[in-house]
Amino acid sequence: MSISAGNHTFGPESGRLLVNTTRTGLGAKAGHDLTIEVTRWRGDATVDTADPAGSSVTVEADADSLEVRQGTGGVKPLTSSDHAEIEKTIREKILHVRKHPTIMFRSTRVEGTAESFRVEGDLTIVGVTQPVAVQCSVSEGRVRGSATIVQTRWGIRPYSALLGALKLSDEVEVQFDVGLVPKQ
């Protein structure tokens, strides 16, 4: 089943938007690789199946809606208070959500086929806009894709602890799996 041409919406009701982090440094064994879900977001897509270059997409996410879903690795499992502390750190020290409440992506170019395509666009995080490329595919009526985000390109210093011995990698992976809902 493919995606139909026209205008569509998508969001948490039709899919998931995840951020995956990995750890590095001498103390990496003490930390966790995290799966973080964006819980409040919405997207709009214009799909031109005859000419993918005529397609476009925008996604707006609430920077205050990131929730830790899973922590793998580490010396001990993450507790609910660990989840709360990580989420607070993300909101206050990494994304500065009071000053920058929204994360925004706007496509500038779409190329490929209706089944496999690349979306280039501008991603704004913490008030800084940088280009990013998203690899996408369509199967079973769903759009799936991912992009690698290098935090320092947006002026974000990757989280570190234990006097820098434990650090999150500069690269995080953003993944999505959504169903497009035709606009009424």
Measured distance CA(130)–CA(154) in Å, rounded:
7
* Tens digit of each residue's pLDDT (9 = 90 or more) over 27-46: 556 677 889 999 999 999 99
Residue 166: pLDDT band by 50, 70, 90 thresholds?
low
Question: pLDDT over 90 for what percent of the chain?
Answer: 62
CATH code, 62: 2.40.128.110
CB atoms within 10 A of CB 54: 12
3-state secondary structure of 52: helix
**Whole-angstrom Cα Rg for the chain:** 17
pTM above 0.85, yes or no: yes
Q: Is 15 contained in some domain? A: yes
* Tens digit of each residue's pLDDT (9 = 90 or more) over 68-114: 999 888 778 888 998 899 899 999 999 999 999 999 999 999 999 88
DSSP string, 116-183: EEEEEEEEEETTEEEEEEEEEEEETTEEEEEEEEEGGGGTPPPPEEGGGTEEE-SEEEEEEEEE-EE-
Contact predicate 62/101, CB 8 Å: yes
Q: Is 1 contained in some domain? A: no
Contact predicate 118/128, CB 8 Å: no
The yes-or-no verdict on residue 160 having pLDDT over 80 is no
* Range(s) of the domain holding residue 64: 6-182
Q: Is 76 contained in some domain? A: yes
Please count the structural domains in the chain.
Answer: 1
| Strands 23-24 vs 66-72: parallel, antiparallel or unpaired | unpaired
* Tens digit of each residue's pLDDT (9 = 90 or more) over 110-151: 999 888 999 999 999 999 999 999 999 999 889 999 999 999
Q: Is 135 contained in some domain? A: yes
